[in-house]
Chains A and B, each alone.
Chain A
Amino acid sequence: NAGVTQTPKFQVLKTGQSMTLQCAQDMNHNSMYWYRQDPGMGLRLIYYSASEGTTDKGEVPNGYNVSRLNKREFSLRLESAAPSQTSVYFCASGARVGYGYTFGSGTRLTVV
């Protein structure tokens, strides 16, 4: 019972490089989310997908793109990484509002 799986767990990028963070859930949840977490800032929503085929911006979408590939998978892409994108990224999925979210274990990204 894997829950929410994120890859990679760690990544170091040079400024200007691109990369995609992968997220997959096996709980048949409709909604999926990408957050970033910085010291003292709490969780900030980057993008979310309420259902397969839809995506919407969250609080801090600039510099990111997403793809809801199917019901299971939701990827986050950094087209041109910047040092300000150094953070811990969490993917989460949820069924209905009354049931909370399940989070992946996170990706620690450093942009140098």
Chain B
Amino acid sequence: RKEVEQDPGPFNVPEGATVAFNCTYSNSASQSFFWYRQDCRKEPKLLMSVYSSGNEDGRFTAQLNRASQYISLLIRDSKLSDSATYLCVVGYSGSARQLTFGSGTQLTVLP
């Protein structure tokens, strides 16, 4: 079983739609959680951290469910510029490697 698993997609949604991605992780001792965004042929960039109480950044909402070991990302009112691959990332300070990356979920927002 992979440490971090994501639905690879692709998700194709119309502009203005709401889309949600889920991610599960296997290490119950994980402490830090992130969503990264990667545009085609570019490096991954931090989109947002995920906090236990859930957090929002504009149109983006992230949720964490520690009991079920899953993380979600909700994008409201999708824009063409949201088209990218979204990487779920989990961190554990007990490992020198720190962060483990999921394989990513591809989103295409259609006009």
Nearest B residue to A44 via CB reads B101
Q: Given A42-B103, A103-B45: A98 and B32 within 8 A (CB)?
A: yes
Shortest Cβ distance from residue B43 to the other chain A in the assembled complex, whole angstroms: 4
A interface SS class: strand
**CB < 8 Å neighbour of B101 from A42, A94, A96, A106:** A42
A82: chain B residues within 8 A (beta carbon):
none
B96 touches A31 (CB 8 A): yes
Interface check B18, CB cutoff 8 A = no
Q: Which of B89, B93, B98 has the most CB of A within 10 A?
A: B98
Complex contacts, B97 vs chain A, CB 8 Å: 33, 45, 48, 58
Q: Is the CB of A100 within 8 A of B49?
A: yes
| Residues of chain A at interface, number, CB under 8 A | 24
Whether the pair B102, A42 counts as a contact (CB closer than 8 A) is: yes
Across-interface contacts of A104 in B (CB, < 8 A):
43
Partner of B99, one of A50, A56, A97: A97
- With known contacts A97-B32, A97-B91, A100-B49, A43–B96 Cβ distance under 8 A: no
Residues of B in contact with A (beta carbons under 8 Å apart): 8, 31-32, 34, 36, 41-46, 49, 87, 89, 91-93, 96-99, 101-104
